[in-house]
Structure 1
Amino acid sequence: MSNQTDIIIHEIEAEKLRRENLTVEELKKAYNKLAEHNFPGAERIKFIADLGGSREIAYHYELICKDLKEGNRLNISSSFDRHGKEGLEFLLCELDKTEDEEEKVNTAYLMAENLSKMKHRDFYIDFCDRLNPILALLLATKDSKLRQKVIIALGWVGSEREADILSKRMLIDEDELCRAWSASSLMQMSFHRIKTETICKLSAKAFMQAIEAEKDIEASAIMIEAAQTLFRKRWLRTSDIDNTDDEKVEKARKSAVKFLDKYDIM
């Protein structure tokens, strides 16, 4: 049994070393070969793992940007977190260099997405705090789709300050999906940096006002779902949300508003 374990450990270490020693030329050759065959599944997954395990962070990032322009069909970004702290520093440098708004939002989103996988790392909080002011500035974009990505990213890395920003955004944003994603991102914060009880205290009034005022039925359902997760209530079933049952959403809205109004004065 011990010999078998030693063999497995040796194979893992050998594979790790192989990936670390991959050159950009070797990775480009592998990518071009995959492209010739329209990126077959198993080979594509292996290549993405090779990218994450390599030291060629700049080339990995280049392919991510290319893939995003093509609709993110290859999911090249899924292994970027393997670059760890060095990868995060690289992304911060890219954020500092680029003036293109879409690229800046996509890069910030990528960094936040990777940080959400690194909650256990000792550098997690520091990088979140370095990213948050950039995300706050990017919220000013007039492009609602880009704004949605910024709002989602804040849910992964935001602190109490950003919880206040999302609470306001849930009330004032002109785009219904941005309002809905603000509610979902407040819920996401409770899985990352902020305790659920703190989020509830910070956002109860905003949730009550937003749910009461929301005219879009789908956005209302998403807000109610986020609130009931945070406040541990059950006003709306998942099937009612998926099917957007107007009558049940309206009934849940009244229950949520009544509860949240009382919660705010507890």
Structure 2
Amino acid sequence: MTDKKEVGLFEDWLKRIVEHPLEAEKRRFIWEVMRSPFVEFHYSLLKDNSLDEQFRRDLMHRFNEHGEKAETLLLSKLDNGEDKDFQADMIFLLGKMSKKHKATTLAYARKFAESKNIYERDRAIIVLGWIGTMEDTHIFENHLLQDTDMHCRAWSASSFMQLWFKEESEMLKQKAFRVYKIALAAEKDYFVLSVILSAIREMGKTKLGISQTALDELDTEKIDASKVKALRFLDKALKS
């Protein structure tokens, strides 16, 4: 009974925030709810479309403060097939907090990476970059070279780099460079090209004649010039 009463107080507080959306009050609400034991209530807010988008994003950003209870809740919902339209976000949240249940999260991420739903693939590929292993490089390769969605291709390029950051494996770098070389020759989207070039710059410790600012701003002329240098760099790196 006490829990219901306390959740009711949060619900009343939330109604007042919706009616009078003061930023300071939103921040205080998030601080209190993330420190509360009401994980299910916090979770319900992440899917509440009556709340403004930024408020929901801020609530989502703090959901991992519930620790293992949050992990357990999300995995139980995935196991039971609940909230189908929110499962991609569940995977993303689990990827950021996964500790005790990392193996289960990894299994779900691998499954979702092959989903027909673009957003599910998108989120899963990012998570695999965070918590995946060398075993997952074939997923990055397949999506970088074949996915129809530019974000899925871009995150695949980035996930090679994220994985490499964890251990700086020479074998992984060589695998990534071989895939980047094929992708650079075929890719037409400048956002994807910019991510590939950023990854090569980081992993190869080379500037490629372009700044990160030019890549972020999708300066097509500079990206085209850098692409030529990158292909030469990769040729040399793969022969050595």
- Provide the rounded CA distance (Å) in 1 between the counterparts of 2:232 and 2:151: 24
Q: Name which of 227, 234, 241 aligns with 2:215.
A: 241
Equivalent in 17, 30, 53 of residue 35 of structure 2: 53
Change in CA separation of 1:190 and 1:85 when aligned onto 2, cut-off 3 Å: farther
* Change over 3 Å in CA distance of 1:35–1:69 after alignment to 2: closer
Matched, 1:225 2:198: yes
The reply to whether residue 131 of structure 1 matches residue 105 of structure 2 is yes
5+ unaligned residues in a row in structure 1: which ranges? 1-19, 116-123
Deviations 1:183-228 (A, max 9, x none): 122222344xx31235413322111111222111221112111221
Superposition RMSD in Å: 2.4
Match for residue 12 of structure 1? none
2:75 is aligned, of 92, 97, 116, to 92
Contact 1:23 1:56 in 2 (8 A): no
Deviation of residue 70 (structure 1)?
Answer: 5.5
Alpha-carbon distance in structure 2 between the residues aligned to 1:246 and 1:108: 34
Change in CA separation of 1:157 and 1:178 when aligned onto 2, cut-off 3 Å: same
* 1:69, distance to aligned residue in structure 2 (A): 8.3
The amino acid across from 1:50 in the alignment is E
Which AA in structure 2 matches 1:149?
A: R
Gaps (5+ residues) in structure 2?
A: none
Q: Structure 1 stretch 252-261 or stretch 94-103: which is displaced more? A: 94-103
Instruction: Specify whether residues 264 and 100 from structure 1 end up closer, same or farther in structure 2 by C-alpha distance, changes over 3 A only.
Output: farther
Structure 2 equivalent of residue 144 of structure 1: 118
- State the Cα distance separating 1:56 from its structure 2 match: 0.6
Matched with 2:182 is 209
Post-superposition offset of 1:76: 1.0
Tell whether the 8 Å contact from 2:181 to 2:231 is kept in structure 1 after alignment: yes
Percent sequence identity is 25
If the length of structure 2 is used for normalisation, what is the TM-score?
A: 0.87
1:125-179 deviations in Å (ceiling 9; x for gaps): x533211111111123333233222222222222222233113211111112211
1:75-102, CA deviations, whole angstroms, 9 ceiling, x for partnerless residues?
A: 2112111111221111111111225543
Q: Which amino acid aligns with 2:29?
A: F
Counterpart CA distance in 2 for 1:253 and 1:51 is 48
Amino acid corresponding to residue 186 of structure 2 in structure 1: A
* Residue in 2 that maps onto 1:16: none
| C-alpha distance 82-211 of structure 1, shift in aligned 2 (>3 A) | same
User: Partners in 2 of 1:72 and 1:189 — Cα distance?
Assistant: 29
Deviates further, 250-259 or 52-61? 250-259
Task: State how far apart, in whole Å, the 2-side matches of 1:207 and 1:69 are.
Answer: 41
- What is the CA–CA distance in structure 2 between the aligned matches of 1:241 and 1:70, rounded to whole Å? 31
Structure 1 pair 162/249, CA: closer, same or farther in 2 (3 Å)? same
1:197 aligns with 2:180: no
Q: Which residue number in structure 2 is paired with residue 9 of structure 1?
A: none
Equivalenced residues, count: 234
- Given that residues 180 and 223 in structure 1 are in contact (C-alpha distance below 8 angstroms), is that contact kept between their aligned partners in structure 2? yes
Q: Secondary structure at the match of 2:62?
A: helix
Equivalent position SS for 2:227 = helix
Equivalent positions of 1:110-129 (< 5 A) are 110-115=93-98, 124=99, 126-129=100-103
Question: Does the 8 Å CA contact 2:201/2:207 hold for their aligned counterparts?
Answer: yes
CA distance in 2, matches of 1:37, 1:43: 9
Which amino acid letter does the alignment assign opposite residue 56 of structure 1?
Answer: F
